[in-house]
Amino acid sequence: MTRRKAKIIGTGSYLPEKVLTNQDLEKIVDTSDEWIVTRTGMKERRIAKDDEFTSHMGAKAALEALANANMTPDQIDFILVATLTPDYAFPSTACLIQSSIGAKKAAGADVQAACTGFLYLLSMAKSFVESGLYKNVLIIAAEKLSAITNYKDRSTCILFGDGAAACVISSEGKGLVVENIQLGADGDQADLIIMPAGGSRKPATLESVASCEHYIKMAGNEVFKHAVRRMEAACKDCLEGAGLTEKEISWLIPHQANMRIIDAIAKRFEHLPQERIFKTVQKYGNTSASSVGIALDELLRRGPLQPGEKILLTAFGAGLTWGAGILGAE
Ligand code: COA
């Protein structure tokens, strides 16, 4: 019997309309377009409306992915959502999306792996589908990072944007085979990127709000070094695990955290030309879990890949968490 393959048979993404430019940020904090572009490569990012939430953005991306896969919501067996900005601590954002898109037969749950969320979901969906436990899995990464960004902190507020991405994973139909996924985590470094309050360890109080503990806190320099090292190692492990070399990769889609991080990773791949490294960071900033999925959707909408072409994905985030994955066009 041939082994069941997990394939991405439809993709979708959603970016809010409102654009926050570097010039807009110059009016809010002590920064400059020149500093932001030099240190991050970012020019603008998207910001959700006050009444537009993570579940709304996730649902829009999900409906687009379903349409792209020629499927209806009632064909979905399981909805997995990656987010660090859920609408509520509970119920899950997966359940809210299940209701809003009418995926009546689907179970649903949220996964929290920060910026590596999309790769964690791909790995879970791959095993659900390959094992035969579920036939059609909808994975959604959605973030409203503007809700937890401190627009008085110039070292973080320039970095983050809102947006969502989704994929339908199935064993049937033509698509991109999820060939290999390699994941990692290091909870010893949990303090490097953290939202200190709002969980059970430090519930909201007047003091926690006054001391801005409900926002992203990050040791930027430290995170930068870990990000480059971990993503490079994850990519190399993943290639080795799949029995591939970098020469066989058509596209690298790295987490869109910072152009300098992307460039530092690119330098470690001598056979991957610059134009094969897909970048959206200049226009959307860092959208955490959504970033790799948004870039993947944008790449695929440019035109179909040729059979045999491979895409290498990699991500890194709070936790710490990291991972890499290989997709192969049929
Ligand atoms: N505008 C102007 N100056 C700024 C600034 C801003 N937006 N943010 C920080 N600075 C200042 C600092 O205060 C510091 O000033 P000082 O030398 O007088 O103390 C100086 O710029 C250098 O700060 P530093 O933090 O060393 O800059 P950096 O080159 O490391 O860049 C980040 C900062 C955040 C852009 C960079 O560390 C980064 O991208 N880190 C990874 C973040 C990330 O991707 N996180 C998510 C991973 S999933």
Would you list the domain boundaries of the chain?
7-174, 179-329
Pair type for strands 107-111 and 44-46: unpaired
- The DSSP H or E segment spanning 13 is strand 7-14
Position 159: which residue type? L
Find the mean pLDDT for residues 222-235: 96
Instruction: Give the mean pLDDT of the chain.
Output: 97
Q: What CATH number was assigned to the domain covering residues 179-329? A: 3.40.47.10
Of all protein residues, whose CA lies closest to atom 44 belonging to ligand 1?
A: 257
- Examine the pLDDT at 130 and tell me if it is beyond 80: yes
How many helices, marked H, and strands, marked E, lie in the chain?
11, 13
Which residues, listed in sequence order, are joined to residue 107 by a DSSP beta bridge? 78
Determine if ligand 1 sits within 6 Å of the CB of residue 316.
yes
Q: For residue 164, how far is its CA from the centre of ligand 1 (angstroms)?
A: 26
Per-residue DSSP letter, 277: B
Question: Over the stretch 41-62, which tens digit does the pLDDT of each residue have?
Answer: 999 999 999 999 999 999 999 9
- CA dist., res. 319 & res. 176, Å (int): 29
Task: Check if 255 is active-site.
Answer: yes
Q: For residue 171, how far is its CA from the centre of ligand 1 (angstroms)?
A: 44
Determine if ligand 1 sits within 6 Å of the CB of residue 135.
no
Q: Which of 115, 157, 167, 238 is catalytic?
A: 115
pLDDT of residue 3: 84
pLDDT of residue 2: 67
pLDDT of residue 51: 97
Q: Is the peptide bond before 304 cis (omega within 30 degrees of 0)?
A: no
pLDDT of residue 271: 87
- The DSSP H or E segment spanning 157 is helix 154-157
Position 41: which residue type? G
Listed in sequence order, the residues at least 6 apart from 24 whose beta carbon sits closer than 8 Å to its beta carbon are: none
Question: Over the stretch 14-33, which tens digit does the pLDDT of each residue have?
Answer: 999 999 999 999 999 999 99
Do 179-329 and 7-174 have the same topology in CATH?
A: yes
Q: What CATH number was assigned to the domain covering residues 7-174? A: 3.40.47.10
Determine if ligand 1 sits within 6 Å of the CB of residue 257.
yes
Question: Over the stretch 71-107, which tens digit does the pLDDT of each residue have?
Answer: 999 999 999 999 999 999 999 999 999 999 999 999 9
Question: Over the stretch 133-182, which tens digit does the pLDDT of each residue have?
Answer: 999 999 999 999 999 999 999 999 999 999 999 999 999 999 999 999 99
- CA dist., res. 298 & res. 311, Å (int): 13
Listed in sequence order, the residues at least 6 apart from 147 whose beta carbon sits closer than 8 Å to its beta carbon are: 85
- CA dist., res. 76 & res. 168, Å (int): 8
Find the mean pLDDT for residues 117-127: 98
Of all protein residues, whose CA lies closest to atom 30 belonging to ligand 1?
A: 221
- Spell out a b/e string for 304-316, using b for 16 or more CB atoms within 10 Å of the CB, else e: ebeeebbbbbbbb
Rounded percentage of the chain residues whose pLDDT exceeds 90: 97
- Examine the pLDDT at 1 and tell me if it is beyond 90: no
